[in-house]
Structure 1
Amino acid sequence: MNVDFINPFVASIAEILNTMASMTVEHQKPFLKHGEQPLGPVSAMIPMRGDTVHGSLAISFSDTAILKIASNMLGEEIRELDDTCHNLTGEITNMLSGGARKRLWEKGYNFDMAQPDLLDASQPLVHHAKSPVVVIPFTTCAGDFYIEVALAENFSRAELSLS
């Protein structure tokens, strides 16, 4: 996938977690996802639609990562995966999509994102657009999380090659 498309997501999540949760993140090498299982117990997904972009974005947190992020953001210790963690995942997804959208708009991509869908045990699959799903793994001091980005097939093969 075009690195111009991936970097705004990397920069946005790093900025969000640094500012809102006083945490640093490191991204690892992206890879193609196989299957539709969420990569963590707390996930959210948001569609992307526009003139130049059609696809979806998902984020999945390990339990330890979202508990620490929630605790830092809310200023109180969160000890279990509950509605607070799920709702906060939706808010982080909104912030991530907004930050990435702004950065992508500056590069000439124009698209809208809807409200995120929170995924839980009743929705055990992440249904992306019919296209390759690139996973960007991240590590924090508290655990891992993953951003998944899928683009629709109307993009050329050159744009979908991993960088």
Structure 2
Amino acid sequence: MNVNFLNPFVEAANEVLMAEMNVSTSRGPLSLHKSALTTDDVTVLISLVDQLQGVVLYGLSYDTALKFVSLMMGQEFREFDNLAQSGIAELGNVITGRATIKLAEAGYRTNISPPTLVSGRGVQISTLDFPRLVVPLQTSLGDLTVHLAVREASPDTRGGNFIPLAVNGAGQ
């Protein structure tokens, strides 16, 4: 996987967090993960299709998710209810949308799926033969970890074919 595909997501996350919550990020160390298990309390999953195919995951703790959604919505959230879940899923959607604009500017046409929110650690999200590039983004409210498993599609698979993805486990 081309590590340069990660930069638009990191840049977009920084821009969106600053615009929505006035929170800056600092980038932690880049790593490569092959484990299919989630390590965060909350994971937003968005599929990418067209010239780039794969999946982006955004992981965060419940505490960080509640802080983020409280700032975004201008009210305090004490539990990760349906409205809070919707807000965090939309945050992932906005970051990914912004990243696809950056990818398009670099010459990569990419479409995204609606976000899926996975709640609980230890849920299996298999990207099959895709290793994931992982980078934590540290903020004053907690970390947002970006996981990216994408590859450039061959010309015969472009145009909307989703990458196989498996989600298993109850996670708690």
Q: Per the shorter chain, which TM-score range?
A: 0.7 to 0.9
Matches within 5 A, 1:65-144: 65-121=64-120, 124-144=123-143
Which residue does the alignment assign to 2:170? none
Is residue 7 from structure 1 mapped to residue 3 from structure 2 by the alignment? no
CA distances 1:64-119 after superposition (whole Å, capped 9, x unpaired): 21111111111111122222332112101110111000000010111211111111
Equivalent residue of 2:14, what SS? helix
RMSD after superposition: 2.1
TM-score by length of 2: 0.81
Identity across the alignment (%): 27
Report deviation, 1:63: 1.9
Structure 1 residues 63 and 120: alpha-carbon distance in aligned structure 2, compared to 1, 3 A threshold: closer
8 Å Cα contact 2:16-2:94 kept in structure 1: yes
**What stretches of structure 2 of length at least 5 have no aligned partner?**
155-172
> Aligned equivalents of 2:120 and 2:61: distance in 1?
14
Is residue 43 from structure 1 mapped to residue 43 from structure 2 by the alignment? yes
8 Å Cα contact 1:42-1:85 kept in structure 2: no
Higher strand share: 2
TM-score by length of 1: 0.85
Aligned residue pairs, count:
154
**What stretches of structure 1 of length at least 5 have no aligned partner?**
156-163
> Aligned equivalents of 2:53 and 2:148: distance in 1?
11
Equivalent residue of 1:60, what SS? strand
* Corresponding letter in the other structure for 1:137: P
> Aligned equivalents of 2:110 and 2:36: distance in 1?
24
* Corresponding letter in the other structure for 1:55: G
> Aligned equivalents of 1:152 and 1:129: distance in 2?
13
